[in-house]
């Protein structure tokens, strides 16, 4: 299954990354989720085994002008990714990035708090506190990672007025288009 072929048809994706909480010397994994799928990329292994393929794959994903990428403090994640994998170009440019965190003035509890406020259920952040550099990842880690990216899509649908289930919640209708950002690095 060619990941780029699958993702190419997605108009909306949640994007998140995870690194070891103590030092965050290197981002361990990156998660991408659509409405129906979640992908977890082992960045450490991919960088070690296939750095060119990793660079090409994420350049296509992050610079796609057809897909809105949702994140929570995603520009910080991209900075950490660029620092972790400095010789790759893929984390230095992006197009159509929407940071969900910037849409809301209240920032209690991070992404989990926002999910609880908007969707009625937060994320179990105790799973976040584990060794993300140890392989293989546990089932709990995989589930957490997938949900961490997928919840962004569900929050967006809710605030965009296209709720997953139920009716529109006017309380959370927000203007979001002006928050979309793009950045093209000139280091090529």
Q: Is 188 among the domain residues?
A: no
Mean pLDDT of 63-81: 90
Q: What is the pLDDT of residues 39-53, one digit of tens each?
A: 999 999 999 999 999
114-119 contacts: CB < 8 A, separation 24 or more? Answer: 114/72, 114/155, 115/151, 115/154, 115/155, 118/155, 118/158, 118/159, 118/172, 119/151, 119/154, 119/155, 119/158
pLDDT greater than 50 at residue 1: no
pLDDT score at 187: 54
CATH number at residue 83: 3.30.420.10
Q: Is 24 among the domain residues?
A: yes
pLDDT greater than 70 at residue 126: yes
pLDDT score at 76: 87
Question: Residue 169: which pLDDT band, with cuts at 50, 70 and 90?
Answer: very low
pTM to 2 decimal places: 0.85
Q: What is the pLDDT of residues 137-163, one digit of tens each?
A: 999 999 999 999 999 999 999 887 644
For 165, the domain range is 3-183
pLDDT score at 22: 60
Of 128 and 70, the one with more pLDDT: 70
CA neighbours closer than 13 Å in the CB half-sphere of residue 42: 14
Q: Is 167 among the domain residues?
A: yes
Number of domains in the chain: 1
């Amino acid at each position: 299954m060619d990941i780029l072929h699958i993702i190419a048809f997605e108009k909306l994706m949640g994007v998140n990354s995870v690194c070891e909480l103590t030092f965050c010397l290197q981002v361990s994994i990156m998660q991408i989720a659509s409405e129906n799928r979640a992908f977890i990329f082992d960045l450490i292994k991919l960088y070690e085994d296939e750095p060119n393929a990793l660079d090409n794959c994420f350049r296509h994903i992050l610079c796609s002008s057809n897909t809105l990428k949702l994140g929570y403090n995603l520009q910080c994640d991209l900075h950490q990714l660029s620092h972790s994998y400095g010789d790759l170009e893929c984390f230095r440019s992006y197009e159509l990035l929407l940071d969900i965190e910037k849409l809301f003035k209240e920032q209690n509890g991070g992404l989990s708090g926002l999910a609880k406020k908007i969707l009625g259920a937060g994320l179990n952040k105790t799973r976040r506190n584990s060794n993300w550099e140890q392989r293989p990842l546990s089932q709990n880690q995989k589930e957490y990672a997938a949900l961490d990216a997928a919840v962004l899509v569900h929050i967006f649908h809710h605030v965009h007025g296209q709720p997953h289930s139920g009716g529109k919640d006017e309380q959370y209708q927000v203007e979001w288009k002006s928050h979309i950002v793009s950045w093209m690095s000139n280091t090529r």
